[in-house]
Amino acid sequence: MQLCILGLTFGIDRIAKANVAFFVRLGSFGPFEFADRVNPGFILETFADVNPFARVVFVCSLYGFLFFGYCFLSWFLPREVRGLHASVSIFFGSISGNAWDRAFQGAVSDFILIRSGSQIVYFNLADCFMWVGMAGVLFLVFRNQQVIWRDRSRRQKFLIDRVFQIRAAFLLSLIAFSMMLILNLFMFTSMRSLGVPFPQSMALFLSGGALGLVFTAIAFFSGVVISHRSAGALYAFERHVEALLRGENPRFRLRKNDEHRRLIEVANRLSETIEEFRKKAG
């Protein structure tokens, strides 16, 4: 469902930008006017005079980080807050639309404008979706903060199985680092073979390496967070078995978003079996 919302947001933006001429022929609609304008900068055309490397290449590379963040949030956020997932998808879909423009055109296509005296503000549908998505995220986070943060308040320790979680995080970060290294080397050698001067090629290689190190650190932290839900379920099951061995018969529970949900069925069957042995022995 989230991917459908993301794709719909992105698709509407692409269709609108591909038919700018239609809107220009309309002239105006209520307080809005339509005109074809290329915006090399950001919101309100800020940083339009910045070096293209920082304005286009770096920003498009940053999109990869945002995509990772979107996937991480989609996995992390509670499933019952569906409106929040939809708002995040709308927000990221709008970013995808403008990132597409920067990657293939070097600038964003703006065609909607509002006049306020001598001031003119240009924007596009992606910008509208962005503000709608952001407003939805802020509202729903504030409204459902107890649901969003409740799991963290129940389990006090974040590193439950330190060795397992650190190992999982290290492997994930190693994969991320290896992929970034491969891409950087491919980019560097391709530029050199095409005749790009060494200083420019090396500058791009070092910039990509810096981004790769940042992403590796993010991947390590993400690995700790992801493995937490798996380690937490196994830790809870271990405590349940220890309680059974002590002669207790507690109810086995997992957090709503924990992994290994089948452990609940196994724990219940184990409790019933031990209880039957005790009755026979008694």
What local confidence, expressed as pLDDT, does residue 282 receive? 62
Structure confidence by residue, pLDDT tens digits, 189-222 = 888 888 888 887 888 788 888 888 888 998 898 8
What local confidence, expressed as pLDDT, does residue 169 receive? 92
What local confidence, expressed as pLDDT, does residue 153 receive? 44
**pLDDT above 80 (res 79):** no
- What region does 33 belong to: left with phi over 0, alpha with psi -120 to 50, or beta? beta
Sequence-distant (≥ 6) Cβ neighbours of residue 146 within 8 angstroms: none
Strands 119-123 and 108-116: antiparallel
Structure confidence by residue, pLDDT tens digits, 2-54 = 889 999 999 999 999 989 888 888 888 888 889 888 887 766 666 666 667 66
For helices 2-18 and 125-143, give the axis angle rounded to 10 degrees: 160
- Please check whether residue 99 is in contact with residue 60, taking contact to mean a CB–CB distance below 8 angstroms: yes
**pLDDT above 70 (res 156):** no
- Please check whether residue 192 is in contact with residue 258, taking contact to mean a CB–CB distance below 8 angstroms: no
**pLDDT above 70 (res 144):** yes
| CA nearest to 168, candidates 213, 261, 252, 232 | 232
What does pLDDT average to over the chain? Answer: 83
What local confidence, expressed as pLDDT, does residue 187 receive? 81
Sequence-distant (≥ 6) Cβ neighbours of residue 181 within 8 angstroms: 212
**pLDDT band at 68, cuts 50/70/90?**
confident
Helix (H) or strand (E) holding 108: strand 108-116
Burial code (b: 16+ CB inside 10 Å, e: under 16) for 141-166 equals eeebeeebeebeeeeeeeebbeeebe
What local confidence, expressed as pLDDT, does residue 8 receive? 92
Strand partners, 29: 32
| CA nearest to 92, candidates 1, 214, 9 | 9
The residue among 156 and 92 whose pLDDT is bigger is: 92
What local confidence, expressed as pLDDT, does residue 55 receive? 67
φ and ψ at residue 32, rounded to 5 degrees:
-100, 145
